[in-house]
Amino acid sequence: MITLNHRDTRTGGSNRRTGAGARNLLLRFASAVVLAPIVLAAAYAGGWYFLVLCGLGAGAIVWEWTRLVTGHSDPRILVPGFVALLAALACVGGNAPVAAASAIALGAVLAGVCAALGPMSELTNKYRGLWAAGGVVYAGVAFLGPALLRGGNDLGFSAFLFLAATVWMTDICAYLVGRAVGGPLLWPQVSPHKTWAGVIGGLAGGVAGGTLVAYAGGTGSLAVVGVIALLLSALAQAGDLFESAIKRHFGAKDASQLIPGHGGLMDRLDGFLVAAAAALVIGILHHGAYAPARGLLVW
């Protein structure tokens, strides 16, 4: 009788987990249906519409980071972080990308110094300034990558679509292939559900998504663009692991609960912001700081 009850308990727990998983998947889908058109519409419009959206997202990320590493909304990080992001937004709007990056760097230094001067028991004292500065840098990268890549030129929207398709298809295919195939885990100490099969599926999906967008837009060599999509897909998955490692370090499951089914913006944009930063660097190295979209796509 005891054995029977034990089995019933396990079955009930499994059913509850399955039901919770289905509800979470439905929430994720509903959130994506609502948010994706808003992001794409703002990216298509460009200009201040897109800059403000990127700024709001980066502001939410620095807030989430601060709460994650300190346990509360610490003004010693938030104030210099918000001011730096606002300054960077104004600089990008004024076509001054170097000044925007400088504003983020200055904000990170100020946040680190302010955090180091006062008590912050939630952080390891030795590294509290670095954690504070890192939050401003992380949010700044989340803003500068898509904002500068979209820019105001004719290829800005195409570059954003290429980036978005690569990252979104990476996420979707990694999730679907990982669940369907299973197999050995990628890094169970950091992410208990990600598998090597999911990684490979994500890479294939990212290359397919990015290449299809480039083909539809008629820009550049598909072979080169495919290699770039592969790199961005790999970096997006690395960014996902990086954020998971930070959350595990601080004992958190999600960065926040801003997005139903997804957690916070850090949880949703972890891979995207790393891939966007890499895409921006590639574009700048190839075609200069004032035409990164052309540098990313035209080869």
Tens digit of pLDDT at every position of the chain (299 positions): 333 343 343 444 445 545 555 665 676 677 678 888 999 999 999 999 999 999 999 999 999 999 998 888 999 999 999 999 999 999 999 999 999 999 999 999 999 999 888 665 555 556 889 999 999 999 999 999 999 999 867 799 999 999 999 999 999 999 999 989 989 998 888 888 889 999 999 999 999 999 999 999 887 789 999 999 999 999 999 999 999 999 998 888 888 888 776 678 998 899 999 999 999 999 999 999 889 999 999 98
DSSP-derived 3-state class of residue 118:
coil
Cα(256)–Cα(270) distance, integer angstroms: 13
Does 291 lie in the same domain as 225? yes
Does 249 lie in the same domain as 298? yes
Does 112 lie in the same domain as 184? no
Q: Which burial class, exposed, middle or buried, applies to 189 when counting CB atoms under 10 A from its CB (0-12, 13-18, 19+)?
A: exposed
Give the pTM: 0.87
The residue from 102, 119, 152 where one domain ends is: 152
Does 161 lie in the same domain as 148? no
Does 158 lie in the same domain as 264? yes
Does 73 lie in the same domain as 60? yes
Does 205 lie in the same domain as 288? yes
Domain count, the chain: 2
Name the pairing type of β-strands 185-187 and 191-195: antiparallel
* Nearest CA among 138, 126, 125 for reference residue 66: 138
The residue from 137, 152, 167 where one domain ends is: 152
Does 298 lie in the same domain as 163? yes
